[in-house]
Structure 1
């Protein structure tokens, strides 16, 4: 369970996601969005309710909005890369239309769910470090659009 904040902009962060994460993170995003709905109302059962990322999603309306935008952008990436619609897209669309009552507020700092050695003050730099150090062995981009910051080697920013 994670939200790979590879850019502050949720759309760009989705474009930077490697192929494996474009597939996997759509489901995880849908699970987090469903987890913050009133229990028993969402298409997916509540899971990972107390995970730091799920707690972040339910902390404010702007956090929820960020994840909706990111998840839908991941769905667009999935369709662009694989010419298919991800099964969880309908769930994310449901979550977009059925917004839970959350604290009204600004975007809060994303949690950094990664090994400590990857963490810096910047959440974006931290997740890029995480990709370069922990995800490089499988990170591939079907369309060849490798992010400019990805070295595929053990490098810390």
Structure 2
């Protein structure tokens, strides 16, 4: 591993955070919709979501930087980063489908695809830099929990 390039690291984090922020912006009034929904058991309070997602986007950005900055084979790095970009794009879409369009079953389909892409991304990252995989674990766990919540909302609403 090379010396940390702080500009590249911060750029990677900011890009991930911007994806989340833009998705939230385009999702509309998610904070107003959430309390109106019939939510499944274990649903956290609405204020927790932006806090957790802010942390998770930062961890994703760090993971992407670790892959980008690694000394691994360029093809393996590019492949891992392509999967990272794909899962980030699907992540971006999920909130819009769920909150803006209130298409709950479609959102369940989107988040299941996201779950699979996160796992695939982690497998690709593992070939490049294992530390990046560890940083993605909380994201996977939270997204699996969000899958449960989305399915619960789809059933209950």
For Structure 1 versus Structure 2, the TM-score category normalised by the shorter chain is 0.3 to 0.5
Which structure shows the bigger proportion of residues in helix conformation?
2
TM-score with structure 1 setting the length? 0.33
TM-score with structure 2 setting the length? 0.33
Higher relative contact order (CA 8 A, sep 6+): 2
Highest Rg: 1 or 2?
A: 2
